[in-house]
Amino acid sequence: MDQSKRPIYLDYQATTPVDPRVVEAMLPYFTEHFGNPASNSHIYGNEALAAVEKSREILAKSIQAKSQEITFTSGATEAINLAIKGVAIANEKKGRHFITAATEHKAVLDCFAWLERNGYETTILPVDSGGLISIDDLKSAIRPDTVMISIMAANNEIGVLQPIEEIGGICREAGVYFMTDATQALGKIPINVQSQNIDLLAASAHKIYGPKGIGMLYVRRSNPKVQLVAQIDGGGHERGLRSGTLPTPQIVGFAKAVELANMEYKEETRRLMNLRNKLEAQIQNLIPSAILNGNRERRLPNNLNFSFPGVEAEALIASLVGKLAISSGSACTSAEIKPSHVLEGIGCSVSRARSSVRIGIGRFTTEEEIDQATDALRNEFQRLLTFSA
């Protein structure tokens, strides 16, 4: 397809294009420096190992961690599985109770279903109409046998930011591990595992203009030292936590993506918020019935989730397929034809949930595209509304 005729991409919560600067950093590690980082008997392996360890340091520094606390995985889903299942198995003598929220990513919720099937006890906290958990509910849910609390930093559908620093403080006081899924947050909001008392953190490169197929798990090594059991057996890579040959190009790309995000953070956040606020205002002006889902103030700078009453989201998305690339929610569960569990969690009716679309803007979104997107949304909404009347 002619690039000039491709639809405007507004699904940046699902994935992002790899930044050309990231591609440039990765390229030498496909051909020239192609060695296996575990082969330390020759220069090829040593070059790859040096690149991996430099990348590990960059990623650790970005969240105020130590480099040896970063474990590379195939993505955030694997990191989440390693964190939850690994901690559960390693800490059975301490307790068998785990806490999370109803609006977490399916990777977390499905791991909690695994916990239930394997004899552990779980508490799923509700959220308010804006998507935030109640701190009082969290405190009340903690028991003497609670091992871990897993609350995401930023929601992948409605962009809502949980008070992770306050949650981390509560966990530390209670002697409970605090895990956060930071997949949508890394590079978009400040993260400090020390001041926020985060013990485990999962993230992925492809949400921040890095390559797909690479993620990381931060695991605190002191005060407290997190105990967890590996979920993949093999050659004992990554200090025994995650066996498998390290993909040097992807790791280098992940680090470069984080480096760029941190370097351009202030300017890019301001630009994205201006574009997001403009898009929100235009939608609500041109489509007065549109309803913003999720907390308006505590939200990622590049996310909007709107319900368009009277029109099915799937019909709206289909009608825009040649003009806009948007989605109805989590790309990880898009094959499931049922209302979003996140929207149900914040109290949306089935009809409202089914009329909701997620709009994600990003590094390569322009102001002109925002105007074009608004016009396209209004025109197709009005056409479908008239058609369904």
| Per-residue exposure over 367-381, b if at least 16 CB sit within 10 Å of its own CB, e if not | eebbeebbebbbebb
Determine phi and psi for 7, rounding to 5 degrees: -65, 155
End-to-end alpha carbon distance in the chain: 35
Active site residue 332: yes
CA dist., res. 186 & res. 230, Å (int): 24
Radius of gyration, CA atoms only, the chain: 21
Which one of the listed residues 111, 171, 332, 348 is annotated catalytic?
Answer: 332
Please list, residue by residue across 330-360, b when 16 or more beta carbons sit within 10 angstroms of its beta carbon and e when fewer do: beeeeeeeebbbbbbbbebeeebbbbbbbbb
Strand partners, 177: 148
Q: How far apart are CA 377 and CA 308, in angstroms?
A: 10
Residue recorded with tokens 């091992």: 147
Positions marked catalytic: 332
